[in-house]
């Protein structure tokens, strides 16, 4: 599995506080089947906003520590950006990192409210050539109550990434039902851990993928955890991915 959403850098947000805890989380991810992961610390006003260059340097530091500890995990740089006006300026200025420097940006919405500028911000990103990857849509109340809003964002070219642990109820029963519905409807492009530690927001990947296997085929699961994450981290176009998704939805 390639994990495209993960809080593993020590001391930068609400993920591990120390390098030792980061290494423990990395070892657990490897045990769960992850071989490559994108470090996506929060980019919002709650934590210090660290530049793309600083995130790359911190990833390199963690990678050296992983190599020395012989933990076979490859770590790549990124951010999880909370939606706000001006994200395109932040990318151009080097303040905000896309996923491994690609055309794909991990984008987070407000959990309990809808930013009126949402569509405009996404339009600006798309006009810049950046494809938003929407983090954990199953957890947003607005999509739980008004799924047509998510349909509108998908029509704008947004990709979606659900949290693995949502499938086993660790994010609440409503998020679990919504994640299952999104999978059934073919509206998910990636499954990621969004892990923050071994005890706080653990990976829960194997158990979650067993649950996914009750809903989608093994081939489809592979697309969501390996094939399409590869598309993202290698900066490949997502046209094929979209075409396959559209065919699947038409069959339903």
Q: What is the domain partition of the chain in residue ranges?
A: 2-251
Query: Over 90: is that where the pLDDT of 246 sits?
Result: no
pLDDT of residue 54: 98
Per-residue confidence band for 89, with pLDDT thresholds at 50, 70 and 90: very high
Query: Over 80: is that where the pLDDT of 145 sits?
Result: yes
Residue with the bigger pLDDT between 146 and 64: it is 64
pTM score:
0.95
pLDDT of residue 248: 62
What is the C-alpha end-to-end distance of the chain, expressed in Å?
A: 27
Query: Over 90: is that where the pLDDT of 251 sits?
Result: no
How far apart, in whole angstroms, are the C-alpha atoms of residue 4 and residue 229?
7
| Residue 31 host element (H or E) | helix 19-32
Per-residue confidence band for 249, with pLDDT thresholds at 50, 70 and 90: low
CB-based contacts of 173, cutoff 8 Å, min separation 6: none
Question: CATH code for 2-251?
Answer: 3.20.20.140
How crowded is residue 111: how many other Cβ atoms within 10 Å of its Cβ?
10
pLDDT of residue 183: 95
pLDDT of residue 252: 58
The stretch 31-54 carries a mean pLDDT of 96
The string of pLDDT tens digits covering residues 157-182 is: 999 999 999 999 999 999 999 999 99
Going by C-alpha positions, the residue among 146, 39, 42, 40 that lies closest to residue 84 is: 42
* Cβ atoms of residues 73 and 206 within 8 Å: no
Per-residue confidence band for 184, with pLDDT thresholds at 50, 70 and 90: very high
How far apart, in whole angstroms, are the C-alpha atoms of residue 29 and residue 219?
22
């Amino acid at each position: 599995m390639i994990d495209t959403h993960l809080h593993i850098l020590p001391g930068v947000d609400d993920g591990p506080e120390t390098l030792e805890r980061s290494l423990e989380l990395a070892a657990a991810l490897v045990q769960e089947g992850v071989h490559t992961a994108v470090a996506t610390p929060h980019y919002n006003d709650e934590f210090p906003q660290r530049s793309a260059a600083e995130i790359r340097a911190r990833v390199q530091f963690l990678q050296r520590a992983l190599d020395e500890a012989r933990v076979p995990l490859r770590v790549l740089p990124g951010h999880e950006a909370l939606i706000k006006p001006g994200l395109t300026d932040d990318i151009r200025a080097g303040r905000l990192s896309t996923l491994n420097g690609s055309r794909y940006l991990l984008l987070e919405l407000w959990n309990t409210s809808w930013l009126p500028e949402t569509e405009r911000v996404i339009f600006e990103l798309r006009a810049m050539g950046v494809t938003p990857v929407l983090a954990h849509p199953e957890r947003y109340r607005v999509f739980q109550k008004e799924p047509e809003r998510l349909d509108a964002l998908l029509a704008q070219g947004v990709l979606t990434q659900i949290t693995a642990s949502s499938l086993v109820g660790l994010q609440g029963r409503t998020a679990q039902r919504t994640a299952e519905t999104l999978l059934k409807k073919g509206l998910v492009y990636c499954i990621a851990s969004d892990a923050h530690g071994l005890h706080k927001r653990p990976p829960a990947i194997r158990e979650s993928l067993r649950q996914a296997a009750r809903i989608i085929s093994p081939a489809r699961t592979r697309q969501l955890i390996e094939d399409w994450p590869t598309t993202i981290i290698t900066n490949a176009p997502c046209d094929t991915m979209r075409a396959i998704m559209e065919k699947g939805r038409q069959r339903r």
